[in-house]
Structure 1
Amino acid sequence: MRLKWTLLAGLVLLVAAVLAVIVMNGPAPKALTDLSGSDPDSAAVKEEPTPEPEPDVEEASTDIVVIGSEMEGMYLARAAKDEGLDVVVLDPREKIGGQLLQGEMLFLDETRDGSGKLLVQGRAKELFDGFRAGQIRKLSEFTDYYNNKLAKGIPIESGIQLKKIETKPGANGEETVTSILYVKADGSHHRITASYFVENTDYAAMAGQLKVNRLPGLEAFYGKNEIEYMSAGMMMKFKNVDWQKFKTHFNGLTAAERNKKYGYGNVNESYAIGLSGMTSAYQPSNDRVFLRGLNAVNQRDGEVIINAFLIYDVNPADEQSVKEAIELGKAEIPLILEHFRKNIVGWENAELNGFPDYLYIREYDHYETDYVMQVSDMLGGRMFYDNVSIGGYPLDLQGISVQKWGIEMGRPDKYGMPLRSFLLKNYDNVIMAGKNVGSSAIAYGSARIQPNTALAAESIGVILGQIDGKKKLKELTESDWPQLHAYLQEKYQIKLTNIQATNKLAGWTEEEIRKLNAGEIIFPQYSRSK
């Protein structure tokens, strides 16, 4: 007890000594009086945080800025450069080439008309001819083509961040994009001004920041409330495949034997298509992935790459969503390999040949352009006075989570694609390249195919060079087009006029066409029942 009182007395003496020092040396520091609540003026002397200094911004200008390095828009860049314009490519992705090089989507879909005639034109024809001939099959060969035929001499800055899209009022009540403020991978800030800006990413990195009108997507067609895009693909890469044994075995079977073992399909020296009976027998490990019929290409030397593996509910604008999908693929593809080894002759010793760094993204948001292509334009074989491409391909809607197989909505003969479907509505200098083409979600099933939009991009690049300093793209009138089309045909062998297409909607009523465009009529079923 005495010890406790002694300690208490010592503590009292210590406090008294501290108070004496405070009285002798003036008022207590602000921090102490604030804590006691005894200083009514404490708020008045709080220091404001020092504002961050504005970063130095390096200024530059050019004729055309292309956002993204997807193959389709690079045809525009190449053509404009060859026509004498200055072009700069700013790529938000860390590596160039997008779907083609990073996603390794190396199975090329050709476009043909209803009679089987090849529709591929322009610079893309060299790529497709090389692919068909077996000369461009491996990633290294596609990379050489991309670097030497498309990107050579064009500045490309990868890994940039778009910080601000700067605009001003333009002509006819529209807006003009004046410049883009961006940050390089090294952290430096830059602003670039240009006459035209091209959206060439697979997730609308630039256009999505503008005042855009999103068109209804596949959710409207499939009756979903939430937005969902066509399934993404992850390319499957294999090695040590005995393709000759595979082909010889497959073609040595009777039709009944082939159907029993593999289902419908065909195999030749270069491709294996279908075999959907065999793929349907595979049971995925989870509901977000699916193995459909094969689009397989023999890359030579025992290497094979296949477009057949689908991943659902992927948002390409969400980096985490893409990463999760890639991990799903890395977990599932080894299981698919085991299925192939057990069920395909010639694949007994097949092994994984690595994984692509990225996905094959089929679809993102559809934004309104000056003209939005419809199903009836395609099946009706419509041609436009401002054609920049001649398209063709089935209206192929790849599946989503509620309809895993997808659906085909009809097969056009061929059709025109107008410049207006590549010009963003309400902006007078924004061009939508590649997957950003203006089309309904159903028409997009055909419009999206590479040769269609690659030719359009090349034509637009040439036209930009021809009208430089004379007119803007949106100022072109019908009377300007004969000369532009003649130049494209004479110098680049791109034929866009005097083309007759089969109208598969002849005799249809306006109401039938409305229902077709809205997805209420599925053409293959309806046309057979009429």
Structure 2
Amino acid sequence: MKVTAVTAAVFIILFCAAYAAFYIWNKNYKFNNNYVWQPLEIIQSTTKLSDSYNVIVAGTDPEGITAALSAARNGMRVLLVEARDRNMLGGLMTEGGLNTLDLNYSPDQPQWLSSLRQPDFLNKGIFQEWFDQIEGSSFDTHTAANVFYRMIHSEPNIDLLMNVKHLEPITDSASEGQTTIMGMNITKEDGTIIKIATRSIIDATQDADIAAAAGVPYSIGRQDIGDGKSKMVSTLVFKLSGVTDEVWQKFREREGTGVDKMSAWGYGDARKYESTDPQRIKIRSLNIGRQNDDTILINTMQIFGVDPLDPSSVEEGLEIGRKEAPLIVDYLKKNYEEFSGLQYAGTADELYVRESRHIYGEYRLTLADVMENRDHWDAIGYGSYDIDIQSTSVGNPGTIMLSPVQYGVPFRSLVPLKVDGLLVVGRAASYDTIPHGSARVVPLGMATGEAAGAAVKLAYVHKESFRELSASEERANELRKMLEKQGMDLSMHNFEKPEYMEHKDYRGLLAAASMYMTSGNYNNDGWDLDTAMNPERFLSKLKRLQAMFPSFYTASADKVVVSMKNASALPLTLDQAAYMLCLAMGATEAETTPELALTQLQMQNFVSKDTLAGIANTNKLTNGDAYMLIRDVMEYYSGVVFE
């Protein structure tokens, strides 16, 4: 008994000592940065180029690097070429200073000692290989660039050519209605033009420049939801120095701020900053990425009105940001004690542009795909990041549409219409603008790049085009097996169906969300389907219909709301909703009335019996009721179904 008691006592003492050590480490040392700063390795371009390659990868952002590595490791001869003036690899994440990652977390996370383990990501493969060599959720841009360069440099099948002046795809339009890639004209830094033959190009440029030049159809910004002028706001990241471990501890002490070893986020009240030009620039809450030389990079600045496809507009945006950055830093130093001793240290060399072209491919990722966490038979990567639609103007604060659990991106979304021999990876792939708010993040873009590189080998072996590959389930299975062998996880995890999908008005919700009429927020609980709709808000939904489908909804129902007193406080009745719909569809006051409109819609089968049966109170429609009416009219009158 004495031995047992002594053993128990020793165990308790050791356990308490271990816990005390862990507590001290977690409180005082866990957040210390012990990484060593690296000088930037000098990039050496290939001096002797071949006349032809199995594939040319355009763009050295992470998606392009991943595509080149994947193709090269599958035995393909690769030319990786960069047409921007860059001195390191990594593009947006290095030259653009976006050193904090938006990560796609797996639904299955480690439970035991989770604080000591790295989280599990959906995007493994080459992304994980790279991630394991950087610092964490945020990273030093030199580390990231050097790791990318070492990975590229270690592959004998890759030739790297930087700082070219212009890239132009060479195409053959012999086939009616179809163009085929034959090679690329490259204007080198010294002005000489070389012609490189290839039957495969992977467009990893941020704006799908090669695809556009080859004739691929695309939409710009929010064009596909009836807003042809708006694009998500651009950002210029800026740097501060003097962030020691002691200063970083102060970031932890700020209420409402989240901090890990390399990242900090929060400071929502920083939005009170008054800029020099409120219509062009403001700031949001801070995303802070730590580096290894006692500096931090801050993603907060919002620059409106930048056209990413117009170089002069981009340059203007850079100038606006460079002038404003020191003023923002002064504001932070005056208002937050932890910033008071820091020094402004400049801005990134490139703008962070979130959105420009969205190509049309053999499949276009829809909101339904993300909202329902769908898998696809040809899924080559998975996402779970929030649909984060950033602000487009000063008066539009942006939207968190929803938080998916896991959804698949089909290989077909990389295969553009009308051009053979071309794949498009990254944020410009074939995604509708709303799901693009999630699918645009870099880790998922790297997954698309890895899939594209492997597809080059598959097409080479079978002597088939990418379009032919994209139509074959057999080839999709081969591609998925190749990617799994390369370390990617292409399994769909088990999880419960989202609660909103069980609601009786879900089909109406899906239609409304697909037309950007509503959002669910981070917890998917903001849909308010059972909350009362009012005439004023219903009118705003009809205006969105008009913007998206102007040929169907040719008139306005404004007069109905204008004639009401306090329309935002009144309940919307079924008769009012039907009347407003009829007016929006072009009916005149002589052709319809509030008393006749519903009967007219029913007679033309524009509203289903099931929808009407689901309305509990015809004198007080809910948001869900209203969305169902809109959904029906969209399908039975406009012929558009969001499913």
When the two structures are superposed, what TM-score results if normalisation uses the length of structure 2? 0.66
- Structure 2 residue 518 is the aligned partner of structure 1 residue 518: no
In structure 2, distance between residues paired with 1:495 and 1:324: 42
- What are the within-5 Å matches in structure 2 for residues 397-476 of structure 1? 397-470=389-462, 471-476=464-469
- Structure 2 residue 350 is the aligned partner of structure 1 residue 358: yes
- Structure 2 residue 147 is the aligned partner of structure 1 residue 145: yes
In structure 1, distance between residues paired with 2:303 and 2:205: 20
In structure 1, distance between residues paired with 2:424 and 2:450: 13
Q: Structure 1 residues 204, 276: CA separation in 2 closer, same or farther (over 3 Å shift)?
A: same
**Aligned twin of 1:13:** none
In structure 1, distance between residues paired with 2:428 and 2:224: 19
**The structure with more radius of gyration:** 1
The correspondence for 1:496, drawn from 490, 496, 500, is 490
SS at match of 1:292: strand
The correspondence for 2:312, drawn from 305, 310, 320, is 320
- Residues 115-134 of structure 1 show CA distances to partners (whole Å, capped at 9, x for unaligned) of 66532311111333444548
Matched residue type, 2:229: I
In structure 2, distance between residues paired with 1:288 and 1:115: 42
In structure 1, distance between residues paired with 2:275 and 2:394: 16
- Residues 150-184 of structure 1 show CA distances to partners (whole Å, capped at 9, x for unaligned) of 45442232333446433224779532121222321
- Structure 2 residue 133 is the aligned partner of structure 1 residue 127: no
In structure 1, distance between residues paired with 2:193 and 2:220: 36
Q: Structure 1 residues 502, 378: CA separation in 2 closer, same or farther (over 3 Å shift)?
A: farther
8 Å Cα contact 2:288/2:299 also seen in 1: yes
In structure 1, distance between residues paired with 2:519 and 2:424: 28
- Structure 2 residue 174 is the aligned partner of structure 1 residue 178: no
**Aligned twin of 2:600:** none
Q: Structure 1 residues 321, 249: CA separation in 2 closer, same or farther (over 3 Å shift)?
A: closer
What's the offset of the Cα at 1:405? 2.6
**Aligned twin of 1:155:** 159
- Residues 345-398 of structure 1 show CA distances to partners (whole Å, capped at 9, x for unaligned) of 232221122322111121111121110001110121111111110111000011
**Aligned twin of 1:228:** 230
Q: Structure 1 residues 242, 346: CA separation in 2 closer, same or farther (over 3 Å shift)?
A: farther
8 Å Cα contact 2:168/2:210 also seen in 1: no
Matched residue type, 1:283: E
SS at match of 1:206: helix
When the two structures are superposed, what TM-score results if normalisation uses the length of structure 1? 0.80
Identity of aligned pairs, percent? 23
Q: Structure 1 residues 388, 234: CA separation in 2 closer, same or farther (over 3 Å shift)?
A: same
- Structure 2 residue 198 is the aligned partner of structure 1 residue 194: yes
8 Å Cα contact 2:355/2:427 also seen in 1: yes
What's the offset of the Cα at 1:312? 1.4
What's the offset of the Cα at 1:447? 0.5
**Aligned twin of 1:24:** none
**Aligned twin of 2:101:** 108
Q: Structure 1, unaligned stretches of length 5 or more?
A: 1-57, 259-263
In structure 2, distance between residues paired with 1:150 and 1:398: 33
SS at match of 2:76: coil
**Aligned twin of 1:204:** 208
**Aligned twin of 1:393:** 385
In structure 2, distance between residues paired with 1:408 and 1:163: 36
SS at match of 2:123: coil
Matched residue type, 1:124: F
**Aligned twin of 1:3:** none
Q: Structure 1 residues 150, 311: CA separation in 2 closer, same or farther (over 3 Å shift)?
A: farther
8 Å Cα contact 2:251/2:264 also seen in 1: no
Matched residue type, 1:119: L
What's the offset of the Cα at 1:526? 5.4
In structure 2, distance between residues paired with 1:100 and 1:526: 32
The correspondence for 1:72, drawn from 45, 54, 63, is 63
Cα-Cα RMSD: 2.6
In structure 2, distance between residues paired with 1:503 and 1:65: 42
In structure 2, distance between residues paired with 1:366 and 1:407: 19
Q: Structure 2, unaligned stretches of length 5 or more?
A: 1-48, 110-119, 531-643
What's the offset of the Cα at 1:113? 4.1
SS at match of 1:443: helix
How many residues are matched? 458
SS at match of 1:459: helix
SS at match of 1:228: coil
Q: Structure 1 residues 172, 454: CA separation in 2 closer, same or farther (over 3 Å shift)?
A: farther
Matched residue type, 2:460: D
